[in-house]
């Protein structure tokens, strides 16, 4: 089932802020320690939130997508970012940061918390990881709630990082290009940025990281949010976000081209909701439509007055409605 939704006359708001009742660090091998936390109802329905980026870290506000009386809400910071250690800004080894490793980390946390099955919630790269997790461990997933679908196909990467989205945000695209030498602006910019982000000159690396992260922060909302751009431009955050994200994109997400759609039969039998902004420039709606067609149990809601962010009013409304419907 699919539907198009303009902003409802009465918007659902997020649940009130809450704090975790337990936090911890899980040794997942390779010298990596993964931050995790649990909030809400200790006896509630388990749900795990998979953050975007990769490299973004889980923000406290995402706990508010879930009814705290109904859900046992699990958050984690993926390798190299957020509160997990070592942090990429401190020299974390990216060679042990792969999709398969992240999937194993999620499974290790599920077992550590003695959870049999859980709902999986993710947006943007979090949707990629959620789909990959559900395709790998379908018997461990009760439902999927996904937003801003990113299937990590080459066409999606090229759209956003090799000029397509620049036609919509030309003034911000120029800022994204600023760290790139003129002679290399016709090359694959993901590969060029890989060189810049790992420059031996820390100033070159930091400048590239801030430009990469600010590009995403400035294009993620239908109406740009200055605080989001500022947050993405903080050097420590930007170094982790840009280096991890670029590392995954240079490597095609460690997927074969089109792999997630080819394996979508593994999702059959899992109910789920896809919430997609019509004007999502970061992850255009074509990917959400392709996933919906390949996954018969999914419900697709296209929000006509929204961009990419989970915090767009119409998107947040439908995400809360989805989590409420699966309580």
What would the pLDDT profile of 133-172 be if each residue is shown by its tens digit? 999 999 999 999 999 999 999 999 999 999 999 999 999 9
At 233 the pLDDT is 78
In whole angstroms, give the CA distance from residue 31 to residue 78.
13
Q: Tell me the per-residue pLDDT of 45-65, one tens digit each, with 9 for 90 and over.
A: 999 999 999 999 999 999 999
Q: Region 209-221: what's the mean pLDDT?
A: 95
Q: Tell me the per-residue pLDDT of 69-104, one tens digit each, with 9 for 90 and over.
A: 999 999 999 999 999 999 998 989 999 999 999 999
Split at pLDDT 50, 70, 90, the class of 114 is: very high
Split at pLDDT 50, 70, 90, the class of 294 is: very high
At 232 the pLDDT is 72
Q: Region 99-118: what's the mean pLDDT?
A: 98
| 263: number of Cβ within 10 Å | 17
Q: Does residue 231 or residue 176 have the better pLDDT? A: 176
Domain 2-153+254-325, second-level architecture: 3-Layer(aba) Sandwich (3.40)
Residue 7 has pLDDT above 60, yes or no: no
Write b or e for each residue in 106-116: b if 16 or more Cβ atoms lie within 10 A of its Cβ, otherwise e.
Answer: bebbbeebebe
Would you say 61 and 311 are in contact if contact means Cβ atoms under 8 Å apart?
A: yes
Q: Region 215-229: what's the mean pLDDT?
A: 85
Q: Region 190-201: what's the mean pLDDT?
A: 97
What lies within 8 Å, CB to CB, of 93 at 6+ separation is: 30, 31, 86
Domain ranges of the chain: 2-153+254-325, 155-252
**pTM for the full predicted model:** 0.96
CA–CA–CA angle 249, 271, 14 (5° rounding): 75
At 251 the pLDDT is 97
Q: Region 181-203: what's the mean pLDDT?
A: 97
Residue 6 has pLDDT above 90, yes or no: no
Residues that are catalytic: 124, 280, 308
- C-alpha distances in angstroms, 237 versus 224, 253, 310, 323? 19, 21, 19, 29
Split at pLDDT 50, 70, 90, the class of 224 is: confident
Split at pLDDT 50, 70, 90, the class of 4 is: low
Q: Region 23-30: what's the mean pLDDT?
A: 98
Split at pLDDT 50, 70, 90, the class of 230 is: confident
Split at pLDDT 50, 70, 90, the class of 302 is: very high
Q: Region 177-201: what's the mean pLDDT?
A: 97
Is the four-CA dihedral 27, 110, 264, 275 of positive or negative sign? negative
Split at pLDDT 50, 70, 90, the class of 3 is: low
Residue 8 has pLDDT above 70, yes or no: no
Residue 235 has pLDDT above 60, yes or no: yes
Q: Region 179-187: what's the mean pLDDT?
A: 97
What lies within 8 Å, CB to CB, of 113 at 6+ separation is: 36, 38, 46, 74
pLDDT above 90: percentage of residues in the chain: 92
């Amino acid at each position: 089932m699919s539907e198009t939704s303009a902003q409802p006359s009465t918007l659902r708001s997020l649940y009130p802020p809450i704090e975790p009742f337990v936090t911890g660090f899980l040794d997942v091998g390779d010298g990596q320690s993964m931050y995790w936390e649990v909030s809400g109802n200790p006896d509630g329905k388990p749900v795990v939130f998979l953050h975007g980026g990769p490299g973004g870290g889980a923000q406290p506000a995402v706990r508010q997508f879930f009814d705290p009386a109904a859900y046992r809400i699990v958050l984690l910071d993926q390798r190299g970012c957020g509160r997990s250690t070592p942090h990429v800004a401190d020299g974390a080894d990216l060679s042990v940061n792969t999709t398969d490793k992240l999937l194993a980390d999620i499974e290790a946390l599920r077992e550590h918390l003695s959870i049999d099955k859980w709902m999986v919630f993710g947006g943007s790269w979090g949707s990629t990881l959620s789909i990959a997790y559900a395709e790998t461990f379908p018997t461990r997933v009760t439902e999927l709630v996904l937003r801003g679908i990113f299937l990590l196909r080459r066409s999606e990467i090229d759209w956003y990082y090799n000029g397509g989205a620049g036609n919509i945000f030309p003034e911000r695209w120029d800022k994204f290009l600023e760290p790139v030498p003129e002679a290399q602006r016709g090359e694959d910019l993901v590969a060029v940025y890989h060189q810049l982000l790992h420059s031996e000159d820390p100033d070159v690396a930091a400048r590239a990281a801030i430009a990469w992260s600010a590009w995403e922060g400035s294009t993620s909302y239908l109406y740009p949010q200055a605080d989001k751009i500022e947050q993405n431009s903080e050097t420590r955050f930007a170094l982790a976000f840009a280096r991890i994200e670029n590392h995954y994109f240079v490597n095609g997400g460690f997927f074969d081209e089109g792999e997630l759609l080819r394996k979508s039969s593994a999702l059959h039998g899992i109910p789920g909701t896809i919430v997609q902004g019509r004007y999502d420039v970061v992850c255009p709606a074509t990917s959400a439509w392709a996933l919906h067609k390949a996954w018969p149990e999914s419900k697709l809601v296209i929000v006509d007055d929204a961009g990419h962010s989970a915090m767009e009013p119409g998107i947040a409304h439908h995400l809360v409605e989805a989590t409420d419907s699966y309580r």
